Amino acid sequence: MPEDSISVYLVAAGQYHDIDFARLEILKLLGEEGRFRTKVATDYADMESIRASDFLISYTCNLIPTEEQQVALREYVRDGGKWFALHGTNSILEFTAEGVNSPEIAPVLMETLGTQFIAHPPIQKFTVKTADENHPLVKDIGEFETDDELYLCRIHGDLHQLLYTDYTGEAKGFIEDQWLDDDPRPVYYINKVGEGEVLYLNLGHCRGHYDMKPVVDYYPQVEKGSWESEQFYELLRRGIRYCAGLNS
């Protein structure tokens, strides 16, 4: 008997990132598995299709679902759905004269995701470390260095951390710019919600010349972040297979 197809719903949209690049790279990875059939969207409006999918992937920034959609997304996960959330999915950004603000105005969404982005230090190299060496999602990945946005987040709930990094210091340019505790900063984790779970990987920054509008018309430096890392692509492949139930 032929194997059944696996339906995927990909939301890729938002601001301040090269969404086109990230969308294409994710679709390439999905294309490596011949059973995946993917719907691509720029928001969460079609909850009927999301509920009908085998799993959800998101790469967004500053994309805030409506309150109704937030509740529906939480119910989707609670009822057994899997959501592979990438990079800025947990980001809400407001550029103000005092700095970048991260208003906490979508609590249902952030409680489902398990974290809310608040700030990051300037893009720089940092070391990613393994928190659960025996978990198949990260087994044998080991420590690696990446050049990316180091997410400093508000944590919601009891996360199963897979990867983390360390950072104590400033996050210049953000309203909350002092991060002086020495808690591990989650990079990759599982947040269980009812019968389902969110798998969150917050690496993956990318930005082209025209992605900072309307803040600036032309951004001088192209940034690819962890998309230049072999380990990042391996984490994406494993995450996709995990959410699809293809653990072998």
What distance lies between CA 226 and its chain's CA centroid? 12
How is the chain split into domains, by residue range?
6-244
The residues of the chain scoring below 50 in pLDDT are none
Give yes or no for a contact between 135 and 104, defined as CB atoms under 8 angstroms apart: no
- Return the pLDDT at 1: 61
Cα–Cα nearest to 62, from 27, 39, 95, 99: 95
* Number of neighbours of residue 220 by Cβ within 10 angstroms: 7
Q: Is the dihedral of CA 159, 205, 246, 36 positive or negative?
A: positive
- Return the pLDDT at 188: 98
* Number of neighbours of residue 68 by Cβ within 10 angstroms: 11
Domain 6-244 in CATH 3.20.20.70? The answer is: no
| Residue range 42-95, pLDDT digits in tens | 999 999 999 999 999 999 999 999 999 999 999 999 999 999 999 999 999 999
